[in-house]
Amino acid sequence: MKKGLWMVLGVVGALMLLGGCYITGRAAVPTVHATVSAPPPPTVVGTATVTGTATVAAPRPVLVTGVTTLQPACNPNAQEVLNGIDDNCNGQIDEGWVGSGNLQITLGWNTPADIDLYVVDPSGTEISYMQTQSPTGGFLDRDARGACTNGDVVENVYWNGQPPAGHYIIRVKYYSDCGVAGPTPITVSISFGGQIVGAYQYTLSPEQTVEMASFDL
Ligand SMILES: [Ca+2]
Ligand SMILES: [Ca+2]
């Protein structure tokens, strides 16, 4: 009896061992599959990011009533001057004077007025002399005529890196006539991806704010 019991237990043990191997073997397959299938999602996300970059190629600004599109003369041999215009047709506005990047928005005018540029980016941040940097990388590097004290008549916002996809709004405010300026023609130029999107003009009256243009990237 005792020997028979041991034999039975031995057989049962052997079966359990085989079953265990079998179960372990089956269990290992989904584990491997899980490990293999985990990485693709980040890869797909990466691809989506590239796709997103491709879709931001051509902003088409929507202009408010009264804003006209300029066809400023440019010459590859011209000297770039600080005027809010790409004088030398290289796709950068006032380079050497202000920062240029993947997205550049530049305001220029030619009276002593204190006029301010505001750019609202997709994060909702309003970049201006009051908040010169956005978490998205947008940066205002020139504040002109602050308190009517300096001679600059250009303000500039640019993104060195990739500007985020989404909605952008460009506002311009006639802050002060500085005692001498009247209605003032202003120019806003936009450069994206090394090419000029357009140059736009509007005549701004004292204390007026205008939403010059908006666009989506
Ligand atoms: Ca230029
Ligand atoms: Ca210029």
What pLDDT, in 10s, does the model give residues 28-47?
333 333 333 333 333 333 33
* Ligand 1 geometric centre to CA of 149 (Å): 27
Question: What pLDDT band is residue 145 in, cutting at 50, 70 and 90?
Answer: confident
Give ion ligand 2 contacts, CB < 5 A.
80-81, 83, 85, 87, 94
pLDDT digits (tens, 9 = 90+) for 51-85: 344 445 679 999 999 999 998 788 999 999 999 99
**With left for phi above 0 and alpha for psi between -120 and 50, is residue 165 left, alpha or beta?**
beta
DSSP assignment string, 67-132: -EEE-----TTSPP-SSSS-TTSSS-SSBTTB---SEEEEEEE-SS-EEEEEEE-TTS-EESSSS-
**Is pLDDT of 128 > 60?**
yes
pLDDT value at residue 4: 52
- Kindly give the distance from the C-alpha atom of residue 96 to the centroid of ligand 1, in angstroms, as a whole number: 9
In DSSP notation, 171-183 reads EEEEEE-TTT--S
Q: Where are the domains of the chain?
A: 59-216
- Residues surrounding ion ligand 1 at CB below 5 Å: 80, 86, 88, 90, 92
Neighbour count for residue 190 (Cβ, 10 Å): 22
* Closest-approaching ligand to the CA atom of 95: 1
For the chain, give the percent of residues with pLDDT over 70.
74
CA 13 to centroid of ligand 2, rounded, Å: 88
Measured in Å, residue 93 CA sits from the centre of ligand 1 at: 5
**C-alpha dihedral over 176, 177, 178, 184, to 10 degrees?**
120
Q: What is the mean pLDDT of the chain?
A: 81
Confidence (pTM): 0.74
Residue 208 has pLDDT above 60, yes or no: yes
Compute the distance from residue 37 Cα to the ligand 1 centre, in Å: 49
Q: Helix, strand or coil for residue 32?
A: helix
Q: With contact defined as beta carbons under 8 Å apart, do 213 and 190 qualify?
A: yes
CA of 173 to the centre of ligand 2 (A): 21
What is the 86 CA–ligand 2 centroid distance (Å)?
5
Q: What was the pLDDT predicted at 146?
A: 85
Question: Cα of 95 to ligand 2 centre, how many Å?
Answer: 7
Counting ligands in written order, the one closest to the CA of 89 is 1
pLDDT of residue 174: 97
CATH class (in words) of the domain with range 59-216: mainly beta
Measuring CA to CA, which residue among 147, 205, 150 is closest to residue 181?
205
Cα of 214 from ligand 1 centre, angstroms: 23
* Element (DSSP H or E) covering residue 35: helix 2-37
Ligand nearest, relative to CA of residue 94? 2
Predicted confidence (pLDDT) per residue in 173-201, tens digit: 999 999 999 999 999 999 999 999 999 99
Phi and psi, residue 21, nearest 5° = -60, -45
